[in-house]
Amino acid sequence: MLRFFVHVSFLFFSLVALTGAWMRYYPFAPGTSIPYSHVLHAHSHFALLGWAFMGCFVLFLHFFWERIRHKKQAILAASAMAGISLAMLFAFLYQGYGPLSIAVSTLHIFAEYWAAFIFYRTVRENPAFSEIGGTFIKGSLAFLLLSSAGPFSLAFIAARGMKETPWYDMAIYFYLHFQYNGWLLLFLIGMFVLWLRRKAVPFDAGGTKAAFWMYVIALFPGYFHSILWMEPGKFVEGLAVAAGVVQFVAVLLLFRSFRGSWRHLRRKCPGPVNAGLLLTMLALLVKSALELGLLLPGLTDLVYDTRSVVIGYLHLTLLGFVSFFILIQYIMAGIWEADKQAVHGISVFYAGFLLNELLLFMMGLAEWIEAPQLPFRLEGLLLAGLMLLAGILLMWRSFARGGSGI
């Protein structure tokens, strides 16, 4: 049954890439019957709530399967999450933001609560097994629940006729901040720490715990990074600066805590896993450095007014860190074997990711310095989208053909 949900996760990842490539095709086919905004909303919601959530769910189920007391409930929750996610995708494609898509998205939030309860109960019932990794998991679940305040507040804001005010954007950024930087980041690091503990790979548990608390405490004022564009005042700006510095230091401390692990990882893991881990951690470092750079005077407005840079940052986070970390942990956990086809798929996927990031940030730089835009940039972005899709399909085919530990 667990193998079925791995297939579901690869299906979801493929659909995310397909809708992404679809959007890149719009400049060459402006007469498409489904509006661009519908595909955009479907792509963004399904990437976060469909693929990323299902990928995390699969990792958790595989790692804790023997210790989950209510296995039927866990399978039912995963099945409900899969069905609701697919319904959400088609609802957004059909009507964009509308009554049906909003209703299904709200239903997804309650399914997340159900999954969070299963995660929390399992970790709580296995305290000796989870240890510091369990602390990361519990923290991630707290921020998953907290993030839902953003979507729920949107209904209130819209009902008060404030949809065109900064409050509406602030609620969206609240949700994204605690999803990306809270729930997903902490969960994936927690699962990585659990794997290190299970495989007896040494790491600095004290440093890891200190990094966790530094990061979590700074995560609350870290939200102010997302709203500096509205000039919230010197006090709030000061909190954002302090939070940015503390979070960056926490990430560096986390890396230092894993310093003693790499020699053992090189011995226990195949080459693609070690290379993937290094690229994942590099993406996290670049992401943290970019967030720190937002604190430079005058840069915030420039960044938030440049769509390609914002999209590049979001893809760096969701593709370069979250998605790639899920895939690498699939291999580490024995869910998927790193055979030759898997390596080819990973290579094509990562090449597409790098091309996508390079073009997006180069487009932003050209806009900032008022230079001519890159020729064939739209063709390049379409090629990057197709490479991402091709890489995912190759990885999925590798999993379907190969054996696994599930």
The reported pLDDT for the residue numbered 19 is 95
Of the two residues 161 and 9, the one the predictor is more confident about is 9
Least confident range from 106-115, 203-212, 334-343: namely 334-343
Position 301 pLDDT exceeds 70: no
pLDDT digits (tens, 9 = 90+) for 54-92: 999 999 999 988 888 889 999 999 999 999 999 999 999
Say how far apart CA 147 and CA 341 lie, in whole Å.
38
Does the pLDDT at position 129 exceed 90? Answer: no
What are the CA-CA distances from residue 125 to residues 146, 205, 229, 336 (Å)? Answer: 23, 21, 44, 27
227-239 tens-digit pLDDT? 877 777 788 888 8
* Residue corresponding to tokens 């530990």: 405
**What percent of the chain has a predicted confidence (pLDDT) above 70?**
95
Tokens matching residue 276: 């993937």
CA atoms within 13 A on the CB side of 10: 22
Residue 27 is inside which H or E element, if any?
Answer: none
Q: What is the mean pLDDT of residues 295-309?
A: 71
More confident residue, 253 or 300: 253
Selected residue with higher pLDDT from 225 and 105? 105
pLDDT at 341 > cutoff 70: yes
pLDDT for the residue 240 = 85
Task: Report pLDDT for 298.
Answer: 65
End-to-end CA distance of the chain: 9
DSSP single-letter state for residue 373: P
In the 8-state DSSP scheme, what is residue 66?
G
Closest to 311 (Cα-Cα) out of 24, 85, 102, 11: 24
Position 29 pLDDT exceeds 90: no
Q: Would you state the pLDDT for residue 84?
A: 96
For residue 377, give both structure tokens: 């940039």
Averaged confidence pLDDT in the chain: 88
- If we measure between CA atoms, which residue out of 358, 346, 333, 323 comes closest to residue 397? 346
**Burial level of 175, CB count in 10 A (0-12/13-18/19+)?**
buried
Nearest to 179 by CA among 127, 116, 235: 116
Contact 356, 388 (CB under 8 A): yes
DSSP 8-state assignment for residue 261: G
pLDDT in tens, 143-192: 999 999 988 888 778 767 777 778 888 888 899 999 999 999 999 999 99
